[in-house]
Every structure is written in structure tokens, then in C-alpha cells.
Amino acid sequence: MKNNTQKLLIQIKNLCDKRCVRLTPQRLIVLRLISQCNGGAISAYNLLRLLRKSEFPHAKPSTIYRALNFLLAQGFIHRIESTNSFMLCHYFYELSHNFAFFICNSCKQVTEQTTKEIEKILQSMAKIAGFIIFNNTIEAHGLCTKCFNVKLHTHFKS
Ligand SMILES: [Zn+2]
Ligand SMILES: [Zn+2]
């Protein structure tokens, strides 16, 4: 997991060079902090707290928002709307993919899946409704297998 993150950050850095956009130190560290939440998502507020604890003790909310906007625009991170938090995209090399998020209510783990099949259904529904979709987000809340098993276990014990 740790090594994967490192690899991902290097890939992103190379992609920035290719696109001729600058991954400034602030942007890089915000990206690193997001990647370090172990599959979860993190709020802008918590990012600011971590940023102040690390290399940028005087970081302002605008620093975070500027970095987040850059990372969102480049498709390196996603915003989880229902929890207003941010997570690393694991399919960033596929320009503008559609995705669904599975959010565990217990451990906050977020799993991302691409949604090609759902997309087809949505597009045909939009056609019937006479509607053009610009973007859509699918966010499902529940429990991951690990947390579900823990719940099941404690349920049977009591
Ligand atoms: Zn993604
Ligand atoms: Zn969980």
C-alpha cells in the first residue's frame, strides 16, 4: 500500500511534466496528505490542520483550496460530495472517467469503481427525459466487508 502510494505520486509528477502544469510544493504535499489517509477521504479542514503541522505552519485555507482546485481540475483527486471530503483517484490516467464511491460508515474507507455500465443506463434515461448530463456522482453508504464482519461477530457474541 505504502509503495503503491509512492509509485502513484511519481506517476502524477510525470503526468504534470507532460501536461506542462506545475506540481508546486504545496500541491505536492496536499496530494501526499490525501494519499496518506489509507483509502479514506479527508476534509479540507483536516488537511489544513495536517499541513500546518508539517512543512507549512502558516498555511491559510486559501492555500488548501487552491491546491485542491488544481488537483481536482487535473483529475488526481475526487470530492466526495456527501461527506465533503477528498480522496486520491486511482484511475487518474483515464482522463475524465465516471465513477461510483462506496463509503464505509464505520471505518470511512472509500472504494472507487468505474461505472461504464451504469453510465450507459443513465445516458439512455437522460435521452428519454430530454436531458444532457454534464456530470454525475454515485455515492453509496454502507459497511465494507471487514466492518460488516466485525458487526456480525459482536452481534452474535452479545
Ligand atoms: Zn477516479
Ligand atoms: Zn469499514
CA 150 to ligand 2 centroid distance, Å? 9
The residues placing their C-beta within 5 Å of ligand 2, an ion, are: 104, 106-107, 109, 144, 147
- Looking at all shown ligands, the one closest to residue 76's CA atom is 1
* Residue range(s) occupied by CATH 3.30.1490.190 in the chain: 98-158
Ligand nearest, relative to CA of residue 147 = 2
Exposed e or buried b for every residue in 84-110, given b needs 16+ CB within 10 A? Answer: ebbbbbbebeeeeebbbbbbbeeebbb
Q: Which superfamily is assigned to 98-158 in CATH?
A: Ferric-uptake regulator, C-terminal dimerisarion domain (3.30.1490.190)
CATH 1.10.10.10 residue ranges of the chain are 1-90
For ligand 1, the distance from its centroid to the CA atom of residue 93, given in whole angstroms, is 9
Residues with CB under 5 A from ligand 1 (ion): 89, 91, 99
Give the pLDDT of residue 158.
55
Q: What is the mean pLDDT of each run of 10 residues along the chain (158 residues)?
A: 76 93 93 87 94 90 95 92 90 77 93 85 94 88 94 77
Classify domain 1-90 at the CATH topology level: Arc Repressor Mutant, subunit A (1.10.10)
Nearest to 88 by CA among 76, 96, 100: 76
- For residue 4, the model assigns a pLDDT of 76
